[in-house]
């Protein structure tokens, strides 16, 4: 090898360098009204970003592949499955998790209160996703009847089968949300 070219060649990239490069994606998320700038591997899901990088563990991982709804959060007001959304896709957007629903002064969100009033859970593992999805269901205009609620909440599974109580809670929460807007 020509010694001069060896002296000027860039050093070979090590696996450690490659690992660091993958973390060089800057992602800015506003989570529950608080700005977070994260450095993430582009393969990081929104669920992992929220739980492991922002540190909010109220959003749950159930199946991890889009089948149970436990990871539901609101992204700019729309419900998404955080396990099926790359964090980079949410760059610059607003995320609402279960921790962001109650506010100082106003207390629990009406949908949270309705789930308590109707005892709409047993183990509670699916509940954060159920509540976020229920709020979106109301805002989409899909909570006008028990049948419609069942249809538009069908992406949120409950292994404890608390479904009758969940539907009753959403009916109450929907009425309270409509009332609070009038
Ligand atoms: S954990 Fe996301 S849908 Fe099940
Ligand atoms: S309350 Fe246990 S999974 Fe729904």
pLDDT of residue 74: 98
> What average pLDDT does the structure give for the chain?
92
How open is the CA angle 33-34-37, to the nearest 5 degrees? 135
pTM value is: 0.89
Contact 22, 42 (CB under 8 A): yes
Instruction: For a ligand 2 pocket test, name from 162, 164, 166, 170 the mutation site with the most ligand atoms within 8 angstroms of its C-beta.
Output: 162
User: What is the spatial order of strands in the sheet that 78-81 belongs to?
Assistant: 34-40, 25-31, 94-96, 72-75, 78-81
* Ligand 2 mean position, distance from CA 127 (Å): 7
Instruction: For a ligand 1 pocket test, name from 59, 65, 79 the mutation site with the most ligand atoms within 8 angstroms of its C-beta.
Output: 65
68 lines ligand 1 (CB under 6 A): yes
Query: Could you give the residue ranges of the DSSP H alpha helices within 118-162?
Result: 127-139, 146-152
Nearest to 31 by CA among 79, 88, 73, 86: 73
Task: Round to whole Å and give the CA distance between 127 and 71.
Answer: 10
Whole-angstrom CA distances from 143 to 118, 153, 156, 172 are 17, 9, 15, 10
Starting from the CA of residue 169, give the closest ligand. 2
* Ligand 1 mean position, distance from CA 67 (Å): 6
In this predicted model, what pLDDT tens digit does every residue of 85-125 receive, in sequence order?
999 999 999 999 999 999 888 899 999 999 999 999 999 99
In this predicted model, what pLDDT tens digit does every residue of 20-50 receive, in sequence order?
666 689 999 999 999 999 999 999 999 999 9
In this predicted model, what pLDDT tens digit does every residue of 51-76 receive, in sequence order?
999 999 999 999 999 999 999 999 99
Protein residues with CB under 6 Å of any ligand 2 atom: 121-127, 158-160, 162
């Amino acid at each position: 090898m020509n010694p001069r070219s060896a002296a000027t060649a860039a050093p070979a990239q090590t696996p450690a360098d490659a690992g660091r490069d993958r973390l060089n994606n800057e992602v800015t998320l506003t989570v529950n009204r608080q700005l977070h700038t994260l450095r993430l591997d582009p393969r990081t899901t929104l669920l992992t970003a929220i739980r492991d990088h922002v540190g909010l563990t109220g959003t749950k991982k159930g199946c991890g592949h889009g089948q149970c709804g436990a990871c539901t959060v609101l992204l700019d007001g729309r419900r998404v499955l955080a396990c099926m959304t790359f964090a980079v896709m949410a760059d610059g957007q607003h995320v609402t998790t279960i921790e962001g629903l109650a506010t100082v002064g106003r207390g629990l969100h009406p949908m949270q209160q309705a789930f308590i009033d109707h005892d709409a859970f047993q183990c509670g593992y699916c509940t954060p996703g159920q509540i976020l999805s229920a709020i979106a269901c109301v805002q989409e205009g899909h909570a006008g009847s028990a049948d419609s609620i069942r249809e538009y909440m069908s992406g949120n599974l409950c292994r404890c089968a608390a479904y009758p109580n969940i539907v009753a809670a959403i009916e109450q929460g929907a009425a309270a949300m409509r009332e609070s807007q009038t």
